[in-house]
Amino acid sequence: MDLSKEIRRRRTFAVIAHPDGGKTTLTEKLLLFGGAIHVAGAVKSNKIKRGATSDFMEIERQRGISVATSVMGFEYRGLQINILDTPGHEDFAEDTYRTLSAVDSAIVVIDAAKGVESQTRKLMNVCRMRNTPVMAFVNKCDREGKDPFDLISELEKELRIKTIPLTWPVGMGATFKGVYSLYRKKLSLFSSQDKQRVDDKVVEFSDIASPELERYIDRFAAKLREDAELLQGVYPLFDETEYLAGDAAPVFFGSALNNFGVQELLDTFCEIAPCPRPTHTDTRTVDPFEEKLTGFVFKIHANMDPNHRDRLAFLKICSGTFERNKAYLHVRHGKQLRFSSPNAFMAEKKTVIDAAYPGDIVGLHDTGNFKIGDTLTEGEKMNFKGIPSFSPEMFRYIDNADPMKAKQLAKGVDQLMDEGVAQLFTSTLNGRKIIGTVGALQFEVIEYRLEHEYGAKCRWEPIALHKACWIESDNKAQLSDFMLRKHVNMAKDKHGRNVFLADSPYALQMAQEKFPDIKFYFTSET
Ligand code: G4P
């Protein structure tokens, strides 16, 4: 097998959006246009609908589906495309951030009526941290939306990225006629017929200057010519280098639900999206074309079957060839592991594979060896960086509610934290355990899973905290002075790093002002 050929034909990416933006719909349509599925609706929505907070069956159902749709791989035009799914619910945003550490590019979906929303902003910040190349798809053009020029400037301003429109909508809402590709100089007119299948009745029009255009889109023809001219004057030509550096985002318009603009997006994606890129470790940068295998775990699914302690660790291959039954070094444990039935994920099914290449995601059956961020190599001692932890927004003390089950509780909490469900801090003042999450739903998930998977009962105690920030300083004297004065608010995270638990924005601001040599981080990388 020619390793470099395999690497060059891989495209691993995630579709990201604010909830309800159309991520699930677009993902499905990409699979449909890519020929991986034949009728839309086959990929179930993995989102927990709002209001379903206490519906634990829904959470379990979602966990089941999200294993099936975690990675959707398919072959298209000679490329191996791997779409990594991200949870739809905001309370699971942390999971999405981690998944972004395993992709080589991303497609961000924007609702044409709503524009840039809070979650889109946060997700883009994560992409920016890693210079991930991003394309934007402005969705729901079949509904009344914002003016496309306004949307483009909003994207530039809010997402802090240069935008390059590659397609442009003709009309919007009730008058939506199709999209014009500024890149290919081609107008595609659509008719919304069978939304579940690929529509092959696309009318293509290559010369918008021709008076023929009026026949098709009537009064919109003049507007399109005017817009196209304006766009050419205002927006730079598409520069692939800027896109690959994460500095500029090509923008597409369409309607995922109606199959508008999806083909254009997919084809351009295949043409310009990057194959696996170098990845950073604590000792050096790993090039995907290196012969020896390296990879890291970015996601763990545990206990899907309560009768077996089964866990599936998702390994992103960063270099070399992964082989079934070959021994690899688990760097954190310093021990060799072999995998007899590694899984690959194709569209909706898992298959056991013999080999996998950079860009691929392999599912490894695990009996508790892995935690998020773990590195596998052929012997080299290094750890991949770039799996972010964000300062949680909600905090509660966790206590044992059943003295007979203290061990189970400790084990459950430990494993759920390895899985990345939430973050654990231990107060330096009294040794009490504090759980920090990004959303309220996680507390319920933890309580439910502790009980059902570990037979343990927990009790929550509210704690009024504003933020947890990781602290560091070259000024050792100032750091120890700070930790002494603030010992009531100090804690250790699960890696033993120092964390300051600020009671309020004011307390944080005061701390920052009084201790200028200390750096307060709201994100930590493992
Ligand atoms: P998400 O994964 O980003 O959360 O969004 P999802 O694809 O589930 O889409 C959210 C809602 O928006 C869905 O409606 C979906 O049908 C609709 N939608 C997606 N793309 C388009 C589009 O291009 N045009 C229009 N008009 N609507 C679109 P829902 O009513 O919440 O769900 P469902 O009952 O239709 O599944």
Query: What does the DSSP assignment read for 400-449?
Result: ES-GGGHHHHHHHHHHHHHHTSSEEEEETTT--EEEEESSTHHHHHHHHH
Average pLDDT, whole number, for the chain? Answer: 87
The predicted pLDDT at position 323 comes to: 96
Rounded to the nearest whole angstrom, what is the distance from the C-alpha of residue 257 to the centroid of ligand 1? 7
pLDDT bin (cut points 50, 70, 90) of residue 522 is: confident
Q: Note whether 419 and 467 are same-domain residues.
A: yes
Distance CA 236, CA 348 (A): 40
Q: Which of 221-235, 274-288, 308-322 has the highest mean pLDDT?
A: 274-288
Residue nearest to atom 24 of ligand 1 (CA): 140
315 and 255 both lie in a single domain: no
Residue 55: what pLDDT?
53
Q: Is the pLDDT of residue 43 over 70?
A: no
Average pLDDT rounded to a whole number, residues 489-509: 93
Residue 302 counted as domain residue = yes
- The pLDDT value recorded for residue 514 is 94
Q: In the prediction, which pLDDT does 54 show?
A: 45
Asked if residue 66 and residue 125 are part of one domain, the reply reads yes
DSSP summary character for residue 456: -
What is the CB < 6 Å shell around ligand 1? 17, 19-25, 45, 47, 88, 139-140, 142-143, 255-258
- Range with the lowest mean pLDDT among 64-73, 346-355, 375-384? 64-73
Q: What span, in angstroms and rounded, lies between the C-alpha atoms of 437 and 205?
A: 51
**Ligand 1 centre from 288 Cα, in Å?**
37
CB within 8 Å of 359: residues ≥ 6 apart: 7, 10, 11, 12, 80, 82, 104, 275, 276, 288, 317
Ligand 1 mutation pick, 25, 50, 137, 172, max ligand atoms within 8 A of CB? 25
The whole-number pLDDT of residue 40 equals 65
CA–CA distance, 428 with 482 (Å, rounded to integer): 14
Kindly state whether residues 25 and 8 are assigned to the same domain: yes
User: Of 40-44, 259-263, 306-310, 463-467, which range is least confident?
Assistant: 40-44
The C-alpha angle 135, 386, 119, rounded to 5 degrees, equals 45
In the reported structure, the alpha carbon of residue 230 is separated from the centroid of ligand 1 by a whole-number distance in angstroms of: 32
End-of-domain residue from the set 335, 355, 377? 377
Ligand 1 center from residue 171 Cα (angstroms):
20
Q: Is residue 225 part of a domain?
A: no
pLDDT number for residue 288: 97
Task: Identify whether residues 127 and 260 lie together within a single domain.
Answer: yes
Residue of minimum CA distance from atom 25 in ligand 1: 140
For ligand 1, atom 19, which residue shows the shortest CA distance? 22
Across the range 379-408, mean pLDDT stands at: 90
Query: What per-residue confidence (pLDDT) applies to 478?
Result: 94
Site to substitute for ligand 1 among 20, 90, 92, most atoms within 8 A of C-beta: 20
Helix (H) or strand (E) holding 468: strand 467-472
The yes-or-no verdict on residue 151 having pLDDT over 70 is yes
pLDDT (0 to 100) of residue 213? 83
Residue 23 and residue 109 in contact, taking contact as beta carbons nearer than 8 Å: yes
Instruction: Show Cβ contacts of residue 297 under 8 Å, excluding neighbours closer than 6 positions.
Output: 313, 314, 315, 316, 364, 370, 371, 372, 373, 374, 375, 376
Residue 48 pLDDT greater than 50, yes or no: no
pLDDT of residue 347 exceeding 70: no
> Does one domain contain both 362 and 478?
no
Pick the closest to residue 441 from 69, 88, 21 (CA basis): 88
Q: Which amino acid residue places its CA nearest to atom 30 of ligand 1?
A: 20
Give the Å distance between the CA of 140 and the centre of ligand 1: 8
- Top-ranked range on mean pLDDT: pick from 42-56, 85-99, 193-207, 482-496: 482-496
Q: Report the range of poorest mean pLDDT among 51-55, 281-285, 386-390.
A: 51-55
Domain termination residue (choose one: 224, 252, 272): 272
Q: Is the pLDDT of residue 170 over 70?
A: yes
Q: Is the pLDDT of residue 41 over 70?
A: no
Q: Whose alpha carbon is nearest atom 7 of ligand 1?
A: 22
Predicted confidence (pLDDT) at residue 109 exceeds the cutoff of 90: yes
CATH number at residue 422: 3.30.70.3280
Q: Which atom of ligand 1 is nearest to the CA of 254?
A: 23
Which structural domain range is residue 515 located in? Answer: 391-525
Same domain, 119 and 7: yes
Between 57 and 227, name the one with better pLDDT. 227
Confidence label for 50 from pLDDT (cuts 50, 70 and 90): very low
With cut-offs at 50, 70 and 90, classify the pLDDT of residue 67: low
Same domain, 153 and 284: no
- Which atom number of ligand 1 is nearest to the Cα of residue 26? 7
pLDDT tier, 52 (very low <50, low <70, confident <90, very high otherwise) = very low
Q: How far apart are CA 247 and CA 10, in angstroms?
A: 22
Query: How far does residue 21's CA lie from ligand 1's centre (Å)?
Result: 7
Question: Does any domain span residue 449?
Answer: yes
Question: How far, in Å, from the CA of 37 to the mean position of ligand 1?
Answer: 19
Q: What is the distance in A from the centroid of ligand 1 to the CA of 24?
A: 8
- CA–CA distance, 518 with 498 (Å, rounded to integer): 12
Task: Give the span between the Cα atoms of 20 and 390, in whole angstroms.
Answer: 23
Assigned domain for 113 exists? yes
Residue 183 placed within a domain: no
Residues 433 and 289 both lie in one domain: no
In a domain, 207, yes or no: no
Task: Please check whether residues 460 and 514 belong to one and the same domain.
Answer: yes
Say whether both 9 and 155 belong to one domain. Answer: yes
The Cα 69–Cα 83 span in angstroms is: 9
pLDDT band at 363 (very low <50, low <70, confident <90, very high): very high
**Domain CATH for 347:** 3.40.50.300
- The closest-lying atom of ligand 1 relative to the alpha carbon of residue 258 is 23
**Ligand 1 midpoint to CA 255 (Å):** 10
Q: Report the SS3 class of residue 370.
A: coil
Q: Ligand 1 centre from 20 Cα, in Å?
A: 6
Higher-pLDDT residue of 400, 216: 400
The reply to whether 23 falls in a domain is yes
- What percent of the chain is predicted at pLDDT more than 70? 88
Given a contact cutoff of 8 angstroms between Cβ atoms, the answer to whether 40 and 195 are in contact is: yes
Nearest CA to ligand 1 atom 16: 257
pLDDT value for 177: 85
User: How does DSSP classify residue 281?
Assistant: B
Q: What is the pLDDT of residue 59?
A: 61
311, burial (CB in 10 Å: exposed 0-12, middle 13-18, buried 19+): buried
Question: What's the pLDDT score for residue 215?
Answer: 83
Mean pLDDT across 93-118: 92
Residue pLDDT, tens place only, 172-215: 888 888 888 888 888 887 665 555 555 555 566 777 888 888 88
68-77, 198-207, 451-460, 510-519: least confidently modelled range: 198-207
| CA–CA gap between residue 85 and residue 46 (Å, rounded) | 9
- Residue 137 alpha carbon to ligand 1 centre in Å: 14
Say if residue 116's pLDDT is above 70.
yes
H or E element in which residue 73 lies? strand 71-76
> Is 469 within the bounds of a domain?
yes
Rounded mean pLDDT, 287-302? 93
Q: Which atom of ligand 1 is nearest to the CA of 27?
A: 7
Same domain, 148 and 57: yes
- What pLDDT does 210 receive? 84
Give bridge partners of residue 84 from the DSSP assignment: 14, 71
The confidence band for 12, taking pLDDT boundaries of 50, 70 and 90, is very high
Q: Give the mean model confidence (pLDDT) for residues 307-318.
A: 84
Mean pLDDT value of segment 229-249: 90
Number of structural domains in the chain: 3
